[in-house]
Structure 1
Amino acid sequence: MADKIGVGIIGVAPGRSWAAISHIPALRALPDYDIVALSTTRMESAQAAAEEFGVASAYDNHDDLVNDPAVDLVVVTVKVPHHLELVTAAIEAGKHVYCEWPLGNGLEEAERMAELARKKGVTAAVGMQARSAPIFRYLKDLVDEGYVGEVLSVTLIGSGMNWGPAVDQPNAYTFDKANGATMLSIPVGHTLDAVCYCLGEISEVGALLANRRTDAVLVPDNTPLKLTAEDQVIVNATFASGAVGAIHYRGGVSRGTNMLLEINGTEGDIVISGIAGHAQMFPMTISGGRGEDQAVAPLEVPDKYRWTPKLEDFAQNVAQAYALLASDIREGTSECPTFDDAVIRHKLLDAIEKSAAAGERRTV
């Protein structure tokens, strides 16, 4: 491999796509990478994106991109229903892969991709970048070092922002549960992954999923739209450690709490809060108190947990993940979340869905 890892990105729309506002600035900020190719479904849009971002090669199909000899790493940033096809093509071409989360449209697809990546021996990373965020790296160390003592309980409240009364066209597909990009899979999945990274896995769940809103509108024209993805997620969780958890996510936004993670232990408490329930995207603050403290007070995240340049919010945690991935590709490590990590998280979400459907607790 050359000094820089050649990156080909599938799914770039100038100015508005997730790739444009997070992946491209993240990759540009790191000396390990060179964006050498991109593809969309139309040559006109591909060439426009290549011109805007200064990328040498533009393709109107993914096959040409994954077979470009300059591409070492294929980044998949399209809608969830297309992940299986595109990731499979990249792995079959012998390329390393970074795929956005959710990895698959359900557990079965995720397992198929993880098995193929192991068989072909490629580095396969998934975009669960919340666990790379400085605040969660710091939280993990605080817990591991005994700041709160034994963790007794966990409370998590979040607003999905989406899955409310209105949605714009780029996000409209998330309102259809069949597409696999739901409030459960995206903000709940991302945030629970970070929580489990810090506190250990959840072993048992009792869940309730509900559609309190079934009708929404597509803005700006207020076209009627059905909401089939649940806008209420409630989970009663037991962690492998014995700690218990109460989780509630709701669609849209609240005039009150939009992100709260509270960890209560035998020796102390930690509180993380933010403006939205997407731990992977938005900035958060952390407070703590222990021993004789009568209340929590702000904690400063040490600089050692930030190993990338300061970037805009959406790109920051993505850059943190890409920094880990560069080392994984070169050294064979697994610091960036892998497809196997994604399968573990898909299993948790699958257990939540099955618990809600059956009306009984499920082992993960």
Structure 2
Amino acid sequence: MKKTRIGIIGANPERGWASMAHIPALKSLPGYEISALSNRNAANTEILSKTFGVANIVAGSEELAKSPDVDMILVAIRVPLHFDAVRTAIENGKSVFSEWPLGKNLQETEKLTALAEEKNVKGYIGLQSRSVPAIRFIKDYIDQGNIGEVLSTSMIGSGIIYGEFTPKANDYTVDPVNGAGMINVTFGNAADALCYVLGEFSELNATTATRRATTTIVEDGDIIPMKIADQVAVTGKLLSGAVASIHFRGGMFPGTNFFWEINGTKGDIQISAAGGSLAVFEPEIRISAGLNGPMEPTPVPQSYNLVSDYGLDYIPASVGQNYMLIQSGEAPTFEDALLRHKMIDAVEKAARDGSSQSYL
């Protein structure tokens, strides 16, 4: 099998999603190899090479995009930097796997999606929540008619960050200009999973609020303004007619950090997790046995875990599902990212104007 050669923008030897999730997955999965890393700081070249075992360290995203040793570029850097990195890759004819969100707003995402189409470049997006085995399983389970017609669904989740305390590396996320707030990242990923399983909203209403005026930086105790919404509540109807509600709250809680219930005419499904990102916290499923029977723990069939043979921990395994779905042509794309950005834009308009919105 010819391997896809991946060039990475965002490899950091100390922290970061690329280091935590993508690199372990790519080192384990068949069909991929890490062929180059982008590095803007020449002083880090040797440590990057030793840490990740990659000899080819290039000076920035443009050189990476021009490299003949790279087939696909992974963009796993701060959201405000996505646009230039993704655009450069596309303009040089490279396929792109961008972490979510694709752009810091709808306008950037529209431009990148249109450019990828114009240049006939494949673009993939890190909407990992829809790709985890549990979510693909419940989609099939529902589509097969096992709980009858879906009547309603409700989801509650934690933002994980966006609470009382914020790590220094995430201080930029609490300013909406950067497009990395809770409504964009954690809410966006969870809402994508709901819509992937049950279909899009035909119309929605929303309430957003900033209930914490400030957040404290973990490392030094600095107190900075919380400028993004730390409460996002959306209600509406799905295209099927089912009634849906989603409520995300900044931070983590002693109580419920993720719970999603789907109610059907023949039974219910419950999905729970220890945090609001299903790519980080492994979900557990309970399904009613028989017609409106008791809720019982339900394992996900092994066939849904596309990386079960490679010994990955849960987080790199979640990302690994996306890489395997790329090979089968089923991975989420820039078009999926554009649709979700349109939904988030509609949520923000609905909350601002007090109006019902549609994004389809």
Query: Secondary structure of the equivalent of 1:37?
Result: strand
Is the contact between residue 261 and residue 273 of structure 1 (CA under 8 Å) also seen in structure 2? yes
**Counterpart pick for 1:349 among 323, 334, 344:** 344
- In the TM superposition, residue 59 of structure 1 has moved relative to its aligned partner by 2.0
Runs of 4+ in 1 over 4 A off after TM superposition: none
Report the counterpart of residue 168 of structure 2 in structure 1. 169
Q: Distance in 1 between matches of 2:103 and 2:37?
A: 22
The alignment-based identity, stated in percent, is: 42
Contact 1:190/1:280 (<8 A) preserved: no
Q: TM-score, normalised by structure 2?
A: 0.97
Q: How does 1:267-306 map to 2 (within 5 A)?
A: 267-306=266-305
Structure 2 equivalent of residue 61 of structure 1:
60
Asked whether the 8 Å contact 2:266–2:291 carries over to 1, the reply is: no
5+ unaligned residues in a row in structure 1: which ranges? 328-332
- Structure 2 counterpart of 1:42: 41
Q: How does 1:94-243 map to 2 (within 5 A)?
A: 94-243=93-242
Q: CA deviation at 1:294?
A: 3.8
- CA drift of 1:134 comes to 0.4
Q: Distance in 2 between matches of 1:254 and 1:106?
A: 29
Contact 2:188 2:344 in 1 (8 A): yes
Q: Deviations over 1:248-290 (max 9, x none)?
A: 1101111111100000011100000000111222101000005
Deviations 1:324-361 (A, max 9, x none): 2134xxxxx4x110101110111111100000010111
Aligned to 1:330: none
Q: 2:326 corresponds to which residue? A: 325
2: distance between equivalents of 1:134 and 1:46? 37
Could you tell me whether the CA contact under 8 Å between 2:189 and 2:277 is conserved in 1?
Answer: yes
Match of 2:335 among 340, 343, 347: 340
How does 1:64-79 map onto structure 2 within 5 Å? 64-79=63-78
Q: How far is the alpha carbon of 1:310 from its aligned partner?
A: 3.8
Q: Distance in 1 between matches of 2:36 and 2:334?
A: 23
Deviation at 1:38, TM superposition (A): 0.6
- Amino acid of the structure 1 residue aligned with 2:185: I
Q: CA deviation at 1:40?
A: 2.7
Q: Name the CA shift for 1:114/1:106 in 2 (closer, same or farther; >3 Å).
A: same
Q: Could you tell me which amino acid in structure 2 is paired with residue 217 of structure 1?
A: T
Give the structure 2 partner of residue 13 of structure 1.
12
Partners of 1:363 and 1:7 in 2: CA distance: 37
Inter-partner Cα distance in structure 2 for 1:115 and 1:151: 35
Aligned residues: 357
Worse overlay, 27-36 or 310-319: 310-319
Give a deviation string over 1:186-221, Cα, whole Å, max 9, x none. 111111111111111112110001000011111122
Q: Please report the RMSD computed on the Cα atoms of aligned residues, expressed in angstroms.
A: 1.2
Supply the distance in 2 between the matched residues of 1:282 and 1:111 (Cα, whole angstroms). 30
For 1:22-37, what aligned pairs fall within 5 Å after superposition? 22-37=21-36
Q: Distance in 1 between matches of 2:227 and 2:187?
A: 17
TM-score of the superposed pair, with normalisation by structure 1: 0.96
Aligned equivalents of 1:95 and 1:292: distance in 2?
51
- Find the counterpart in structure 1 of residue 87 from structure 2: 88
Aligned-partner SS, 2:185: helix
Aligned partners of 1:110 and 1:343 also within 8 Å: yes
